[in-house]
């Protein structure tokens, strides 16, 4: 089933051994426009670190409960790449500013 990324933002991420955070954003590959990583906010778990989870690690999406299960343990997520280490252009990491 297809889901809009706007709907998936805020969904809770559940590892094989417990919850780890929620989806905050997505990283899209500009060559073929595929979602490569979920940016997961783990502030309630490991103190504000945003981690990247590859879409290949997704297991299930429970639309009713707004939960996304991943085939990773909490330790694997914690040891995974952070958003700070990702190869992202600086301009992409800056907040959006609207001038009216």
| 3-state secondary structure string across 17-69 | CEEEEEEEEEEEECCCCEEEEEEEECHHHHCCCEEEEEHHHEEEEECCCCEEE
The class of domain 5-93 in CATH terms is mainly beta
Q: Residue-wise pLDDT tens for the chain (100 aa)?
A: 677 888 889 999 999 999 999 999 998 888 888 899 999 998 877 676 889 999 999 999 998 899 999 999 999 998 888 877 766 655 455 555 556 5
* Predicted local distance difference test score (pLDDT) of residue 98: 55
Question: What residues contact 83, with CB distance under 8 A and at least 6 apart?
Answer: 39, 50, 51, 52, 93
pTM (2 d.p.): 0.80
Least Cα distance to 36 among 8, 61, 12, 57 occurs for 57
* Domain boundaries defined on the chain: 5-93
């Amino acid at each position: 089933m297809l889901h809009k990324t706007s709907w998936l933002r805020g969904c809770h991420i559940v590892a094989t051994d417990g919850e780890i955070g929620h989806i905050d954003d997505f990283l899209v590959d500009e060559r073929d426009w595929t979602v490569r990583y979920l940016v997961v906010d783990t502030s309630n778990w490991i103190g504000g670190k945003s981690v990247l989870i590859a879409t290949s690690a997704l297991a299930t999406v429970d639309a009713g409960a707004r939960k996304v299960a991943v085939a990773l343990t909490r330790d694997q997520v914690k040891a995974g790449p952070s958003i700070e280490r990702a190869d992202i252009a600086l301009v992409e990491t800056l907040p959006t500013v609207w001038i009216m």
